[in-house]
Amino acid sequence: MDKFTTLSGVAAPLLKSNVDTDTIIRIERLTQNARQDLGPYAFEALRFRPDGSEDPACVLNEPPFRDAPIVLAGENFGCGSSREGAVWALIAAGIRCVIAESFGDIFYNNCFQNGLLPIRLSASDIAALGQDVEVDLVKQTVHSGSLTFHFDIEPVRREALLDGLDEIARTMKSAADIARWEDNDRVQRPWIWST
């Protein structure tokens, strides 16, 4: 996955609560498209009318926010089903960071497995952010205009995003230790190993 250090760009204010994974990407899109092709379908339930035309009331259709790499959201963003494809769709749409009051637990965990940074800030902090936002994972700050907000993130997850490593890649960093343990275990408990 791509490394995440800093990100600057327009932040789309999608300040709705309880945006679920089905709103982020419909299930049938996941069965019909490769993960890298999901971008055009991200948020289609919000962006399009039933006849397929763009809904002008959706902030994501407004010119400054069409290609925003950052989304500002309300509470419980990514709730609903445990659909990793929701994170894939956001990344394919060019979104690398979602700043929300809170997240659905499974969605939050899936973000770190795929290189998307979920940041928790208070509703008042999010409301104070302007259109242009800079996210610095190294300093753990969100900067907009004259405002700077600190955010918390688990150190292991922060390091994984900075290095661009998912859980498998992080495990493989210890491949030599794992091989040594296996060699020792073969001697200590040979009956466990079939070959």
Predicted pLDDT of residue 186: 87
Element spanning 13, H or E: strand 6-14
Q: Phi and psi for 166 in degrees, rounded to 5?
A: -85, -175
Predicted pLDDT of residue 164: 87
Q: What is the DSSP letter of 7?
A: E
Predicted pLDDT of residue 111: 96
Do 131 and 175 lie in a common domain?
no
Do 141 and 188 lie in a common domain?
no
Do 150 and 173 lie in a common domain?
no
How many domains does the chain contain in total?
Answer: 2
Q: Phi and psi for 92 in degrees, rounded to 5?
A: -65, -25
3-state secondary structure 90-149: HHHCCCCEEEECCECHHHHHHHHHHCCEEEECCHHHHHHCCCEEEEECCCCEEEECCEEE
Do 50 and 146 lie in a common domain?
yes
Q: What is the mean pLDDT of the chain?
A: 93
Q: Cβ distance 89 to 42 under 8 Å?
A: yes
Residue 19, SS3 per DSSP:
coil
Predicted pLDDT of residue 59: 96
Predicted pLDDT of residue 100: 98
* Residue from 113, 88, 108, 105 nearest 37 by CA: 88
- Structural domain including 173 reads 166-195
Over residues 161-187, the pLDDT tens digits come to: 999 877 776 677 777 888 889 888 988
Q: Report, as an integer, the average pLDDT of 75-93.
A: 94
Enter the pTM of the model: 0.88
Higher pLDDT, 78 or 164: 78
Higher pLDDT, 175 or 189: 189
Asked if residue 1 is part of any domain, the answer here is no
Do 136 and 171 lie in a common domain?
no
Do 159 and 170 lie in a common domain?
no
Residue 195 has pLDDT above 70, yes or no: no
Higher pLDDT, 1 or 154: 154
